[in-house]
Amino acid sequence: MIIFNAEEHVPYTAKQMFDLVSDIEKYPEFVPGCRHVSILWREESRVEARMQSTFMGFSIDFTSKIILEAPSSIEISNISQPFRRFFAHWSFEPRENDGCIVSYKMEIETPMAFMDSIFSSLQGISGRRTVAAFMERAKTLYDIKS
């Protein structure tokens, strides 16, 4: 199993960061490798989405269940192949007068051990790029222009 963890202190509110990460349809605009997202169904705090991505030249197409706990956390898990397990968890912890702490954890397990070793060799880089993409998107959306 491949595990990636990251934590960032940002000058934005937990609600702003929750809104950014929960805007799943916008992922293809800024998340590295994300080519297409389609919402299959949506309820107040649950979404099922089909995501098409590329990673290391592989085309990955899977359906995920997303649980939204506004404004504190977002949980994403696969409900279809190619992963045996895909789990991502975002949390947004407010800091009084000082933005929030954004935590991101991702766990991936593929059906074949050799694929885990291939993915794990580059997952740290990919995870950091993903987190950086969300931080850059936050700057674009929320920084005050003078």
Q: Binning pLDDT at 50, 70 and 90, where does residue 117 land?
A: low
* Residue 91 β-bridge partners: 73, 103
Helix H or strand E segment including 87: strand 85-94
- pLDDT above 80 for 121: no
* DSSP tag of 26: G
Confidence at residue 81, expressed as pLDDT on a 0 to 100 scale: 73
What's at 96, amino acid-wise? E
Of 74, 73, 76, the residue nearest 65 (C-alpha): 76
Q: What is the pLDDT of residue 146?
A: 43
Q: What is the pTM of this model?
A: 0.87
Q: What angle do CA 93, 97, 98 make, to 5 degrees?
A: 60
The residue extents of the domains of the chain are 2-142
10 Cβ contact partners less than 8 Å away, ≥ 6 residues apart: 17, 99, 100, 101, 102, 135, 138
Mean local confidence (pLDDT), 78-93: 87
Beta carbons within 10 angstroms of residue 143's beta carbon: 10
Q: What topology is assigned to 2-142 in CATH?
A: Alpha-D-Glucose-1,6-Bisphosphate; Chain A, domain 4 (3.30.530)
Q: Within 10 Å of residue 98's Cβ, how many Cβ atoms? A: 10
Is 60 exceeded by the pLDDT of residue 122? no
Q: What is the pLDDT of residues 3-43, one digit of tens each?
A: 889 999 999 999 999 999 999 999 999 999 899 999 999 99
Using CA atoms, how far apart are residues 29 and 46, in angstroms rounded to an integer? 22
Tell me: the pLDDT tens digits for 49-71? 999 988 767 788 889 999 999 99
Higher pLDDT, 146 or 24: 24
What is the average pLDDT across 100-105?
A: 96
Task: Determine the average pLDDT of the residues in 113-123.
Answer: 59
pLDDT of residue 48: 97
What are 68-83's pLDDT values in tens digits? 999 999 999 999 877 7
